[in-house]
């Protein structure tokens, strides 16, 4: 599970930061999931090590332009670049109508299935390996945060032990890897748990933007390995944050502290904190670290590998 920030500015792009988009790479299944898709996201993808052809799911928080203006262009390019089998898009009410209008007025046709799912609080997607859920946040328009939970899995399979015991390769290995009990052709009964290392806890990620501090963000981020939270404003500009329903860096840190997350990434920074201004991004970072020390500033193309942990 690898996170790559494709855009970390709020509202408008700057020379060093594009508008909102985060990619979650799942190498074990050769997939990339996007969270938000601001203008220029496809250009950012081309500058990264990610493969556009591996995008299978896109999760949209809300319909403000800096989170969706890159979506239509990316979808059109995906069809020309490699004909993906299908892309599923998840987002608030109105997202499907927006895409339909874009397609109609631009006379665009997708050469692959695009399915739009209107989300409601709760689970929005689940398969054998992952669960994605959402929760409403507190912004000027309908807005959702997302939580990705990887399901626990068996530890490393001891193939050397299996070979030493003369277990024939094939389907039996798969059953043992799942921790199941199997009976060999010679009558021996073996327990898969004896061939696997300690159970590995599934990794957890939460993505909360745009929002002012709210209890739902704390609930969504509870005990995650990584929380990505907007920090549009410095603590000194809290009045602006309340007026515009955005967070300060200290609000994001409070969410991280209350939710007992392991690592907080701040993103979605206002351009007002550019170098040369009285307040700069390091001030936002220091304010957040005073509350939650394990805080980092995100920047475009920053990549973070979420490590696996043995289940306690």
Phi-psi region of 218 (alpha: psi -120 to 50; beta: other; left: phi over 0): alpha
Residues that are catalytic:
66
Nearest CA-CA partner of 147 in 171, 126, 161, 169: 126
What distance in Å separates the CA atoms of residue 143 and residue 150, rounded to the nearest whole number?
A: 23
Q: Give me the helix-helix angle, 71-82 and 95-106, nearest 10°.
A: 60
Euclidean distance between CA atoms 188 and 38, whole angstroms: 58
Identify whether the C-beta of residue 52 lies closer than 8 Å to the C-beta of residue 70. no
How many CA atoms lie within 13 Å of 146's alpha carbon, on the beta-carbon side? 23
* SS3 label, residue 261: coil
Strands 21-26 and 31-35: antiparallel
> The tokens of 63 are what?
């319909």
Return d(Cα 217, Cα 146) in angstroms, integer: 9
Annotated binding site: 62, 64, 66-67, 139, 210, 268
Longest dimension (CA), the chain: 77
CA distance 290 to 312: 29
Q: Which residues contact 121 (CB under 8 A, 6 or more apart)?
A: 134, 135, 136, 144
**Which amino acids are annotated as binding site for Zn(2+), given as ranges?**
62, 64, 66-67, 139, 210, 268
To the nearest 10 degrees (0 to 180), the angle between helices 249-259 and 281-289 is 30
CA angle 37, 227, 223 (to 5 degrees): 140
């Amino acid at each position: 599970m690898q996170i790559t920030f494709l855009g970390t500015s709020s509202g408008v792009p700057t020379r060093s930061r594009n508008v909102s988009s985060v990619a979650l790479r799942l190498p074990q299944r050769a997939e990339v999931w996007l969270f938000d898709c601001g203008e220029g996201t496809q250009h950012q993808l081309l500058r990264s090590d990610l493969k556009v052809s591996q995008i299978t799911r896109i999760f949209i928080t809300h319909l403000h332009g800096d989170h969706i203006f890159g979506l239509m262009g990316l979808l059109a390019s995906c069809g020309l670049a490699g004909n993906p089998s299908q892309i599923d898009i998840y987002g608030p009410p109105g997202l499907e109508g927006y895409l339909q209008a874009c397609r109609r007025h631009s006379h665009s046709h997708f050469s692959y299935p695009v399915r739009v799912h209107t989300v409601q609080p709760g689970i929005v997607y689940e398969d054998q390996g992952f669960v994605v859920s959402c929760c409403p946040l507190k912004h000027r328009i309908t807005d959702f945060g997302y939580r990705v939970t990887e399901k626990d899995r068996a530890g490393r399979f001891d193939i050397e032990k299996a070979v030493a015991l003369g277990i024939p390769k094939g389907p039996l290995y798969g059953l043992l890897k799942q921790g199941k009990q199997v009976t060999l052709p010679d009558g021996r009964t073996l327990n898969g748990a004896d061939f696997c290392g300690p159970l590995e806890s599934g990794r957890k990620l939460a993505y909360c933007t745009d929002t002012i501090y709210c209890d739902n963000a704390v609930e969504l981020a509870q005990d995650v390995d990584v929380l990505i939270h907007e920090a549009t404003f410095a603590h000194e500009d809290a009045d602006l944050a309340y007026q515009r329903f955005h967070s300060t860096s200290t609000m994001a840190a409070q969410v991280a502290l209350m939710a007992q997350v392991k690592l907080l990434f701040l993103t979605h920074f206002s351009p007002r904190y550019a170098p040369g201004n009285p307040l700069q991004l390091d001030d936002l970072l220091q304010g957040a670290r005073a509350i939650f020390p394990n805080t980092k500033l995100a920047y475009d193309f920053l990549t973070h590998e979420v490590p696996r942990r043995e289940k306690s």
